[in-house]
Chains A and B, each alone.
Chain A
Amino acid sequence: MPANFTPSSDDLLRFAPEMILSAAGTLLMVLDPFFAKKMPKLFGHLSIVAFILAIFGALGANSVAGPAFSNLLIVDGFATFFRILVMIIGILTVLLSYRYLDRELSETSEYHALLLFSVVGQSLMVASNDLIMIFIGLEISSIATYILAGYLRDDKRNNEAALKYFLLGSFATGFLLYGVAIVYGLTGTTKLNEIPGLLASQGTSPLVIGVATAMILVGLGFKISGAPFQMWAPDVYQGAPAPVSAFMATAPKAAAFAILIRIFMTSFQPSASGWEPFIWISALLSMTLGNFAALTQNNLKRMLAYSSIAHAGYLLVAVAARSEFGTAAAMFYLAAYALMNIGAFAVVIHISGKGERHLRIEDLAGLGQKQPVTAALLTIFLLSLIGVPLTGGFFGKFYIFHAALKSNLVWLSVLGLLNSAVAAYYYLRLLVVMYMHEPGDVTRSLEPLTPGLGAALVLPAIGTFFLGVMPGVVLTFARNSSLLGK
Chain B
Amino acid sequence: MDLFFFSLFAFIALICAVNVVLQKHPISSALSLVGVMASLAVLYLLLGAEFVAMSQVIVYAGAVMVLFVFVIMLLNAGIEVHHGRSWMAKLLGFPAFLAILGLLCFFVQRGFPNVGSVRFGDWEGGGAQQVGYALFTEYLLPFEVTSVLILIAIIGAIVLARKELD
Contact = CB atoms under 8 A, between A and B. Distances in A.
Interface string A119-160: 011001000001011001101100110110011011000000
Contact of A15 (B136, B137, B141): B141
B148 A22 contact: yes
Contact of A72 (B136, B142, B156): B142
A13 B133 CA distance: 23
Contacts of B148: 22, 117, 120-121, 140
Given A7-B140, A110-B158, A153-B160, A147 B152 contact: yes
B140 to A, nearest CB: 6
A73 interface: yes
B98 interface: no
Nearest to A29: B155
B149 A147 contact: no
B149 A3 contact: no
Question: Chain A contact residues: over half helix, strand or loop, or mixed?
Answer: helix
Interface in B113-154: 129, 133, 136-142, 145-146, 148-149, 151-153
B159 interface: yes
A136 B155 contact: no
A132 B156 contact: no
Given A7-B140, A72-B142, A133-B142, A117 B158 contact: no
Contacts of B138: 70
B141 A114 contact: no
A167 interface: no
Contacts of A136: 142, 145-146, 149
B137 A3 contact: yes
Nearest to B149: A140
A130 B153 CA distance: 23
Interface residues of B, number: 22
Best-buried of B145, B156, B159 by chain A (most CB within 10 Å): B145
Interface in A1-57: 1, 3-5, 7, 15, 18, 22, 25-26, 29
A70 B135 CA distance: 12
A69 interface: yes
A117 B142 contact: no
A113 interface: yes
A124 B151 contact: no
A26 B152 CA distance: 10
A72 B141 CA distance: 8
A4 B145 CA distance: 19
Contact of B156 (A7, A25, A146): A146
Contacts of A3: 133, 136-137
Interface in B76-131: 129
Contacts of A133: 141-142, 145
Nearest to B155: A110
A117 B151 contact: yes
Given A136-B146, A147-B159, A147-B160, A69 B140 contact: yes
Given A3-B133, A110-B159, A147-B160, A117 B141 contact: no
A150 B133 contact: no
B160 A1 contact: no
Nearest to A135: B142
Contacts of B153: 143
Nearest to B145: A136
Nearest to B158: A110
B146 A114 contact: no
Given A5-B136, A110-B158, A73 B152 contact: no
A73 B141 contact: yes
Nearest to B123: A188
B152 A140 contact: yes
30 contacts: A3-B133, A3-B136, A5-B137, A7-B140, A22-B148, A25-B151, A29-B155, A70-B137, A70-B138, A72-B139, A107-B159, A110-B158, A114-B152, A114-B156, A114-B159, A117-B151, A121-B148, A133-B142, A133-B145, A136-B142, A136-B145, A136-B146, A139-B149, A140-B148, A140-B149, A143-B156, A150-B160, A153-B159, A153-B160, A154-B164
In the A-B complex, the 6 residue pairs with the smallest Cβ-Cβ separation, listed nearest first, are A147-B156, A69-B141, A70-B138, A72-B141, A110-B159, A144-B152
Given A4-B137, A114-B152, A150-B160, 20 more contacts: A1-B133, A3-B136, A22-B148, A26-B151, A70-B140, A72-B141, A110-B158, A114-B155, A117-B148, A117-B155, A130-B142, A133-B141, A133-B142, A136-B146, A140-B145, A140-B148, A140-B149, A140-B152, A147-B160, A151-B159
